[in-house]
Amino acid sequence: MPKHFARRMKPAIAITARMIGVVMSGPLILDEVRAAAPWMDTSLPANQRANLLLSQMTLDEKIAMVHGFSGPCVGNGTNNARLGIPALHLQDGPAGVADGVQGVTALPAPILLAATWDLILARQYGTIIGVEDRGKGIHVSLGPMINLVRVPQGGRSFETFGEDPFLSRAMAAEHIRGIQSQQVIAGAKHFVCNDQETWRGNETTYVDERTLHEIYFPPFLAAVRAGVGSITAAYNGVNHYWSSESPLLGTKLKVMFGFKGFIDCDWGANFAMELAVNNGLDLEMPYDTRFSSPLQTAIQSNIIAVSQLDDMVRRIFLPMFQFGIFDNPPTGSITDIVTTPAHAQFAYQTALKGIVLLKNSNNLLPLNTNSVHSIAVCGSVAFSHPIWVGGGSAQVYLPYYDDPLSEISNRAGAAISITYDQGDSGGSITQAAKAAQMADVAIVCVGEQTGEGTDRSSLSLPSDQDSLVSAVAAANPRTIVVLYEGAGTLMPWNDQVAAALVAWYPGQENGRPLASILFGDANPSGKLPVTFPASAEQVPANTPAQFPGTNLQVFYSEGLLMGYRWYDSWGIEPLYPFGHGLSYTTFTYSNLNVGPVSSSGQVTITCDVSNSGSRSGAEIAQLYLRFPAAVGEPPRQLKGFKKVLLSPGASSHLTFNLDWEDLAYWDANAHCWTVPTGIFRIMIGASSRDIRLNGLFNVTSRIPSSAVANCALFQAATASSILGSNFRAAAATGRASRPGRWAPWWRGG
């Protein structure tokens, strides 16, 4: 029978008082009511089901939906036995199921995933998180984290996909699709500009409209387009409002981007209740301080319309219906073991593909086991204090300990002698240098474990690690450094060492992938998703007003010139540029072809990449765009990338499709995206500073033609267009006019 027939023939069943009485008497009968409830008709669209359910709810019941309760997860809703609504369980996070639960897979950190530039891996990564969440009875995965590495000091850099909005949005979309393919709601976070930890709960970021649209919004737009079910608002303020009460929630996420799911506040974030409701916050987490009786009172006193509350509840129900939480709820419990050998294998493969080879003088790597008979391994990070995962809400419990020293020893085998020195203080450094001098090769593992809540106090390696590297390198020119970092780090000894790699925070598979790369069982293919500065002064946010801010105000005055855009714009030579990463083979680029620009703004660009070396390897070809000079865009912006695996001598024909959105900049006067006319330059290469092919195209008339314009993006959204007639013009309710910024006004602050 066709679906629409089935739908029409199903009688609508109202919940009767008798049923309600029965249901309240015990969970067994719940199934009966659910079976009879009209909103359980799976042939209806999710929105209609949400409306049907909503129509049966009392004010008390609705209020109970929009704030947190205690429960097994880091965030919990409540169930409603009368109506058969399950309690929503929310758990971190971006690198695997977190918040202290065991029996899970500690995946490599998202920054490492970004270094793979591999969208298939990103999808699988999200899928594994979804599978494990579901196995533990979790409905919402609090990730991915799609803030950007604006400052390499950021304590949560490891949770992000790096400094570039294009790479970040591509990774975010796949991560989200993966999670949600398992009927788990993804929770993109933190909207917006939560790019530092220092004073994150108290500071306000000041950032201009164009920069927001071109740099900090794109990952969130991509998340919405990927169908993300929830978004967490940040702790920090943005342009006069706390993120959780910001008009950006409604005007941008909901109206302009078309987000249909729910927005929750970050855990215990500051916000004023009425402003937050009017501007688009839907769920208070994890507490019940404002979206409980204060909200109820405001509704009863006609300060807030009940339709506002309905919209909040509907938005929570919508992804619950979409992702099967009513129809096919997860049956697992939080203590179940959900990690599997296949997931561990995935962690290994991903870690392998995210390791970045920064330098490799005289092809010291891969190690030649015919000529290397002794290795001096040094550094506490190699054995006594390895770095697996970052700290805070993204910290995942490790199922086992796979340290670098043990795995280097295992892979080296009995024929190669290994020494180990921690090298963490003066005498110990001298000892490490002596051991290095006696060995054929020295491997020094160094790094810093960062986490949520604090930023790095400096971009240098902590304690005596720089001295250790310098001493070892002085003793043995065949020194290899392995960096365990979440973002760019100063490497004052860079010229002294023969080889350097970044292993990031690899997760549970730490030593094995590293040994595979060092000994050449695998060919490195990772590329930097962040810039490594040559000095602390080089970084874009290099004044106290920019970072960490003064008087709790942080000015994003570098504007569009964030990350590599800054270095390129000012002609500053970083230590290692964005997109850089070497291989044990070589690649050549040829045959660039830039097609015509269509009237709707599409350009097809093709080129060939060949493996010109002697072993098979993967190359990540990157396409950068330069806008016509008049519009004041940074000199190079990533607008495409392709990863290809090539055996020696093989070539691949790559196609990049640019769309009008790639050619547009945000016109802050007209408040919309605009494609400028003029000459655009295409640059394709192996990194942002290793451009191999150059081409041009010319935009001569207005793009796109009106027939294909993406209205949502061209529309200049205004505060008053959000949430219909109930919107109380929050933008006009300036926070400055309220008496106490730090205490919610309804508490008399």
Query: What is the set of active-site residues?
Result: 266
Largest CA distance in the chain: 86
DSSP code for 247: H
H helix intervals, 103-198: 110-116, 119-135, 165-180
Number of residues that bind ligand BGC (CB under 6 A): 8
Report how far residue 483's alpha carbon sits from residue 493's, in angstroms, rounded to the nearest whole number.
Answer: 13
CB atoms within 10 A of CB 313: 23
Interior/surface letters 122-157, b for 16+ CB within 10 angstroms, e for the rest: bbbbbbbbbbbbbbbbbbbbbbbbbbbbbbbbbbbb
Please count the other Cβ atoms lying within 10 Å of the Cβ belonging to residue 413: 10
- To ligand BGC, the closest distance from the beta carbon of 271 in angstroms equals 14
Q: From the list 64, 65, 131, 142, which residue makes contact with ligand BGC (rule: CB under 6 A)?
A: 142
Q: Which of 267, 547, 567, 624 binds ligand BGC (CB under 6 A)?
A: 267
Distance (Å, rounded) from C-alpha 127 to C-alpha 175? 7
In the window 77-116, what residues touch ligand BGC (CB under 6 A)? 92-93
147 binds ligand BGC (CB under 6 A): no
Q: Which pair of tokens denotes residue 399? A: 């199922």
Least Cβ distance, residue 74 to ligand BGC (angstroms): 4
Q: Which two tokens stand for residue 285?
A: 């987490």
Torsion angle of C-alpha atoms 315, 317, 320, 325, degrees rounded to 10: 170
Which DSSP letter does residue 89 get? E
Q: Which residues pair with 374 in a beta bridge?
A: 417
Which of 30, 265 has the CB closer to ligand BGC?
265
Q: Is 157 in the site for ligand BGC (CB under 6 A)?
A: no
How many Å apart are CA 686 and CA 704, to the nearest integer? Answer: 31
The reply on whether position 188 binds ligand BGC by CB under 6 A is no
Q: Is 663 left (phi over 0), alpha (psi -120 to 50) or beta?
A: alpha
When asked if residue 266 is in the footprint of ligand BGC (CB under 6 A), the reply is yes
Q: Residue 91 CB, nearest distance to ligand BGC (Å)?
A: 8
Q: Does 197 bind ligand BGC (CB under 6 A)?
A: no
Residue 268 CB, nearest approach to ligand BGC (Å) = 8
How far apart are CB 201 and ligand BGC at their closest, in Å?
9
Pick from 150, 175, 189, 290 the residue near ligand BGC by CB under 6 A: 189
Omega of the bond leading into 139 within 30 degrees of 0 (cis): no
Closest residue by Cα to residue 148 from 215, 228, 236, 213: 215
Cα 559 from Cα 463, distance rounded (Å): 33
Q: Which is nearer to ligand BGC, 93 or 549 (CB)?
A: 93
Q: Which is nearer to ligand BGC, 140 or 305 (CB)?
A: 140
- Token pair 């998202």 is found at 110
- Are 419 and 377 in contact by the 8 Å Cβ rule? The answer is yes
Backbone region of residue 520 per phi and psi (left: phi > 0; alpha: psi in -120 to 50; beta: other values) = left
What residues from 547 to 576 belong to the interface with ligand BGC (CB under 6 A)?
none
Nearest approach in angstroms of CB 708 to ligand BGC is 38
Q: How far is the CB of 99 from ligand BGC (least distance, A)?
A: 6
Binding residues among 361-420 for ligand BGC as defined by CB under 6 A: 393
> Does residue 76 interact with ligand BGC by CB under 6 A?
no
Among candidates 246, 286, 250, 251, which has minimal Cα distance to 266? 286
Residue holding tokens 């729910």?
Answer: 262
**Strands 617-626, 678-687: parallel, antiparallel or unpaired by DSSP?**
antiparallel
Question: Is residue 424 within the footprint of ligand BGC (CB under 6 A)?
Answer: no
Angle at 180 between CA 197 and CA 6, to 5 degrees: 145
Nearest Cα neighbor of 619 from 164, 118, 175 is 118
Minimum distance from CB of 187 to ligand BGC (Å)?
Answer: 7
Strand extents, DSSP E, 177-312: 185-191, 204-206, 230-233, 237-238, 241-242, 262-265
- The single-letter code of the amino acid at 710 is N
| In the complex, least distance from residue 157 CB atom to ligand BGC, rounded to whole angstroms | 14
Instruction: Report the nearest approach of ligand BGC to the CB of residue 330 (Å).
Output: 19
Can you give the binding site for ligand BGC, defined by CB under 6 A?
74, 92-93, 142, 189, 266-267, 393
